[in-house]
Homo-oligomer: A and B are copies of this chain.
């Protein structure tokens, strides 16, 4: 099915359980067991995070309702989990770390609210986007509001250096979004540029989440650096899997329609590979996008089917999954200098599970 049915979006705890079930069904009992341990390891912390997130003020204004429309849909809360796990390598997921976990989720949510306006996105987390309910204007201001709230939470945490680092990261995200915007519909984008966009728009915030947790947990500079690198590779892996899900995900789990990126003219890794391997693809797509009059299905079905077939046939989808696995492996290698223990095991498990996620 190309359009997702509404589904309740799982929080982080149930996401881990869902991943566990998936691993068992795929004959990965070891990872499934470790996911169960991970669940026990962070369950209480994630509950504390949810409690803290619930303190984001509700109000009667449209911007507040638009913001909570998105927040109430839950989401994976993977970035807050990164903060929690990093903090637990040190002094623990204390009050300051909780503020930082909320901050990273709010920045992520702010970018979603603005992205949905920019992309004219209609579906997110299995239901209508805030802009379809409250309008584009409220969605823009709601993103601004969450950004301000996020920065206030970083202030409240009083961990030195994190506010300036967050401002740098947000700028990186904006510049990457801008680059992606400029390349929209231009399918000549090469892999180098793809990685620049992915590192900025996705991986940068994972880096911040890891460093924020590490700093709150009072880890030393070299440990913070290790975790920042872990965040970078985890973020790239996460985005590569996201790209694959655009071609082969289950819309009921991802919460968004298949081929959304393709229809928006966004370069994804499987598409870049497929176009390199099948030279007839780029002119076909370029023409179809040029002829497109927009709307919900801007590309002819025949073109979409040809692209999906090429992505499979040329091995582009498989190789994109391999790319994700490679970055998962690099993320895990980054952790080598850290002392073994439940915290390190948890980070390894999260990285491995990222490669198997379905939504």
Contacts and interface: CB of A to CB of B under 8 A. Distances in A.
Interface of A: 59, 61-64, 114, 117-118, 135-138, 140-141, 143-145, 147-149, 151-152, 155, 163-164, 167, 170-171, 174-175, 177-179, 181-182
Nearest to A118: B137
Given A114-B141, A117-B140, A141-B177, A170 B148 contact: yes
Given A63-B174, A141-B174, A144-B174, 18 more contacts: A59-B175, A61-B178, A62-B181, A63-B175, A114-B140, A114-B141, A117-B136, A117-B140, A118-B140, A118-B141, A144-B170, A145-B171, A145-B174, A148-B174, A151-B167, A155-B164, A155-B167, A163-B163
A240 B68 CA distance: 33
A162 to B, nearest CB: 12
A117 B64 CA distance: 19
Contacts of A177: 63, 141
Contacts of A149: 171
Q: Report, nearest first, the 7 A-B pairs whose CB atoms are least far apart.
A: A118-B137, A63-B178, A61-B178, A145-B174, A62-B178, A148-B170, A141-B174
Contacts of A152: 164, 167
B175 A61 contact: yes
A288 to B, nearest CB: 21
Contact of A61 (B144, B163, B179): B179
Nearest to A63: B178
Given A148-B170, A164-B155, A171-B148, A141 B61 contact: no
A171 B142 CA distance: 10
B147 A144 contact: yes
Identical copies in the complex: 2
Contacts of A164: 152, 155
Contact of A147 (B61, B63, B137, B147): B147
Nearest to A59: B175
Nearest to A182: B62
A114 B174 contact: no
Q: Which of A152, A171, A178 has the most CB of B within 10 A?
A: A178
A145 B147 CA distance: 12
A164 B155 CA distance: 8
Contacts of A178: 61-64, 138, 141
Contacts of A143: 144
Nearest to A155: B164
A189 to B, nearest CB: 15
23 contacts: A59-B175, A61-B179, A61-B182, A62-B178, A62-B182, A63-B174, A64-B175, A117-B137, A118-B136, A135-B181, A137-B181, A138-B178, A141-B177, A141-B181, A143-B144, A144-B144, A145-B171, A148-B167, A148-B170, A148-B171, A151-B167, A155-B163, A155-B167
A137 B143 CA distance: 13
Contacts of A62: 178, 181-182
Given A152-B164, A152-B167, A163-B155, A144 B114 contact: yes
Contacts of A63: 174-175, 177-178
